[in-house]
Structure 1
């Protein structure tokens, strides 16, 4: 825009004036297959929202006029990234806690077990409701709160592996050579105790994605401006006659969880020592 000089402003590519400019000779623009973004609203939509699928919006629009294809793609990306982050953080905490319990045992193990039992008895959903009413909902807040409780189950498997491996001959030989507990844990016991951790990772990631979808559906998840599959499920429930909202969202969820389940089964079979 020129106001006595160049003044950079964001361009609305759906504005009728802008679209007419590209119809002029010599003007062109390279677009993506789906020109809509996850947060753009089509104010020039003729049909009432949610609008049915059309050549302009392949899977229609949601209840506020946003393109369903874009919302699904960006919501899928948010779910995958959140699942990866929650799985990574929870795994680090679980491996650390399980390694300390299993390797040292004795009073350290008993004390940490009692503390973990007390910590696990705290109602997680109530904490989420309380924090959601105090702080502005965000992915970081969800990641922190879910990470505080999502590691307990996996730490038990790591603890069991460390309890089994710490009495093996190679650990005794490492102690006889004068290696410190840190070196023994990091170099010898931990690599031989990662089998249950690796096989459980896809299932933990699917659980993280389902947790995000459920919390978004309940209104305790990400802000409305952030595209999410849970928000689309909630919109589908509110607009049961608009099949183009719930069915594609359900298909994306089912395919994602099925793929993660198949990956988990394949990893479990690959690390199964009972198979030749």
Structure 2
């Protein structure tokens, strides 16, 4: 199973096993390429090392777990043990002898990968969000941006990731939400600066829906949904989300 796991992690995360100890040539660690944190370690040990029965060496994998209640539940099941050579409070050992199915082992590794990921990577794992983003017609003719295409480049908004939904709020004299768009690509390198604007990255947004200028006006956003300013990307209340749908 250790070979299947190595192939899975290479395909899923581009991670190669690292063999760090001459004394333990089959001990392999898997870690993130940016923050260098471990998210899994495969080892071969005798069963007594983890409190199991038997004499022959077995393969095990250590993964991180942040749900203490789930950890306690798993430790009552066959194939799971407190983390070997790791912090037993937030690492768990899984025996790779088939007692725990391969797919379940992979799910545990995936969870460990997310737990140990950098803040930037964790952003990519979160569920899609909805945002209002401003568009100033003084600097860009947003009212005609989608005349000939349904996808345009736009300034990358802080915290926005691929798959998010953005509602384009067009400033004065329109002062209303005009478009609903899906973010299809992010982190496109770009370098622009003038006295009014600085852009270091772009995102691609695809038009999904148009709104009439008198539908979601600033006055309505303020009086019905408590939105008093749209100066940068911001989340939206559930009530407005439902209305926009």
TM-score normalised by length of structure 2: 0.29
TM-score normalised by length of structure 1: 0.27
